[in-house]
Structure 1
Amino acid sequence: MSAPPFAKHLASNDKKTRDKAIKSLASFLADDAQEPISKSDMDKLWKGIFYCFWMSDKPLVQQALASELAQLLLTMTSISSSLSFLRGFWEATVREWNGIDRLRLDKYYMLVRRFVNATFTVLGRSKWDKSACDTYNDILTGEGGPLSPADIRIPTSLAYHLSDIYVEELDKALAAAPEPLLPAPLATLLTPFFTLAARTPTSITYKRVQSEVFMPLFSALSSSSQPLEDQPPAQKRMRLDPDAQQPYATLVSNACFDSPEEGKIEGGTLRKKLLRRIFEIASEPETKDSSRRKMYALFKESTEDDGSDEG
């Protein structure tokens, strides 16, 4: 089908026109009678949406619009439509990113955060459908995706930002669900970062993934299963403080390896299984030698820390 006729109004200089176009867009996307939007028309639609957000100039307006745009993913009647719209978002974001001036960059970081959160909500509602999760992972790591390890056109700042927020937003999405979701399949959802860590040509990117994705998550999974007396003083104080926010508390208590239907897995066991996955990926021929050494070292150090004799 063709792009909706109001698409050109999304980037209008007039705020009232833009607001009206967003409301029309929401109604359009929620109509399950619509045919799928073609690739070329999705590109046109997202160019309009991207510059609609560009025009928003006050913090509260920006925050409201970012949430409104991300919530569009949740109004669609099929997960395939949501993922198609999401692919359009990421393609537009990567395409336009280097043209964003310094003063606007923070609000686009916020928009990315909102979309990551909404995506986890969509996938959770689908009961972490394997095909849907795999499609999402392909959107992130395929050619032109924000976590594509081999595409030198991808701005590194996008991969860094996703590393910083990914697990945090997964935890938030689980906590905000109106009813409990099936356990989040971490081996599946972390696949883009396993791939990026294994195949990135830069040591800085690998370091960011390990320090901001793997280590905080492994620490949270480990502390959830350790007896209180065996924990470091800082972790012990946090667990004893009723007002302290435990890292990734909702995620740690509602996660599994890769089969949500089998139920959640205890943190220490899940940590070992994820470390084993890192070891397996390090052994693959596509993994760069520099990454392989670091991934083996991460596995060895982490399994020694928990007293495991895996190897």
Structure 2
Amino acid sequence: MSVLPSAGGPPLGKYLASTDKKTRDKAIKSLSLFLSDGQNAISKPDMDKLWKGIFYCFWMSDKPLVQQGLATELAELILTITTTSGSLLFLRGFWETTVREWNGIDRLRIDKYYMLIRRFVNATFRLLLRSRWDKASCQEYNDILTGEGGPLCSGDIRVPASLAYHIADIYVEELDKALGGVSLPSPAPLAILLEPFFTLAARTPTAVTYKRIQNALLDPLFTALVHEQFPEDEPPKSKRIRLAAETPSSSHLVSNACYSDSEEGPINGSILKKKLLRRIFEVASHPDTRDSNRRKMYALWKESYEEEPDDE
């Protein structure tokens, strides 16, 4: 069976989107073998056709265990590819196709696509961790998320807001899982990894999106970073207590995070929080930041920064 369109056979997309599960399974295995060969390259038009087929391959999976297994198998393809640049090209195809096809997903299928996104976010963190958080690769990933057609693009009205909401909900959790999956991981550079959300918070035209980013991602993250810094006889303020009770500990992330340079090693959570808040202040000060969002970001900086002790 041909993996990509060729003069002598049908395109792989036809097999991937087959109504027969055995045919789809064979197509995925063939694709995995193709991607694992570093000599093979995929053009942009072929990548678009390939991802159309993959998207509907997942569409056709109709049993929970089958869906979970296929979601994991598809996400692991990112790590099957032998070069980080090739993996990111494949990932770009995933996000472009997901954004393009999202509004056509019915309510009975939407949960399994949320699961697929979770698997891809986790696999991407493991890819970047494998590259020791190479800055060029991290920046390319950020461009995939925030560029035109990306799920966190603030200026593209075609991008469904629900995608940004879901990514914000799962981002820290999946990063923590990725870090917990290896021994002695390179510290995650949070300033780089969070930049897409800082940018979206600054530029989103909707108050709901800003609120979701702060409530689902920033507040829980900041709480996790400082929660373990306080001994039991010196509890944090009431707001932090409430958030801590509602927030997973993210222990792997807390002990393996840095600001922007993994080579410097992990840093104290309270200090890291203050550095990230300073970055939020800088983004808020940018002329492209919407005035209403600027006020909210300044308020977040002021409230969160001033309640921290001066550890530096």
For the aligned pair, the TM-score class normalised by the smaller chain equals over 0.9
**In the alignment, which residue of structure 2 is the partner of 1:86?**
91
* Alignment of structure 1 residues 4-83 onto 2, 5 Å: 5-35=11-41, 37-83=42-88
Q: Secondary structure at the match of 1:230?
A: coil
Amino acid at match of 2:69: A
Amino acid at match of 2:302: K
Q: Secondary structure at the match of 1:146?
A: coil
* Alignment of structure 1 residues 81-120 onto 2, 5 Å: 81-120=86-125
| Contact 1:3 1:42 (8 Å CA) reproduced | no
**In the alignment, which residue of structure 2 is the partner of 1:175?**
180
More displaced 10-residue stretch of structure 1: 53-62 or 1-10: 1-10
Amino acid at match of 1:182: S
Deviation of 1:68 after TM superposition, in Å, equals 0.2
Cα-to-partner distance string for 1:168-225 (whole Å, 9 max, x where unaligned): 1000111112x32210000000001000000000010000000011000000111122
Amino acid at match of 2:130: R
Q: Distance in 2 between matches of 1:51 and 1:189?
A: 30
1:289 aligns with 2:291: yes
| Contact 1:257 1:274 (8 Å CA) reproduced | yes
Deviation of 1:308 after TM superposition, in Å, equals 4.9
Cα-to-partner distance string for 1:23-77 (whole Å, 9 max, x where unaligned): 0000000001112x11111000000000000000000000000000000001110
Q: Secondary structure at the match of 2:233?
A: helix
1:263 aligns with 2:265: yes
Q: Secondary structure at the match of 1:225?
A: coil
| Contact 2:4 2:12 (8 Å CA) reproduced | no
**In the alignment, which residue of structure 1 is the partner of 2:150?**
145
| Contact 2:146 2:153 (8 Å CA) reproduced | yes
Amino acid at match of 2:260: D
Structure 1 unaligned spans of 5+: 240-244
Deviation of 1:303 after TM superposition, in Å, equals 1.5
**In the alignment, which residue of structure 1 is the partner of 2:233?**
229
1:207 aligns with 2:211: yes
Give the count of matched residue pairs.
305
Amino acid at match of 2:26: K
Change (3 A) 1:114 1:232: same
* Alignment of structure 1 residues 296-311 onto 2, 5 Å: 296-308=298-310
**In the alignment, which residue of structure 2 is the partner of 1:186?**
190
Structure 2 unaligned spans of 5+: none
Deviation of 1:227 after TM superposition, in Å, equals 2.8
Give TM-score scaled by structure 2 length.
Answer: 0.93
RMSD: 2.4
Give TM-score scaled by structure 1 length.
Answer: 0.93
Q: Distance in 1 between matches of 2:310 and 2:68?
A: 46
Deviation of 1:246 after TM superposition, in Å, equals 5.3
| Contact 1:3 1:45 (8 Å CA) reproduced | no
| Contact 1:197 1:209 (8 Å CA) reproduced | yes
Q: Secondary structure at the match of 1:228?
A: coil
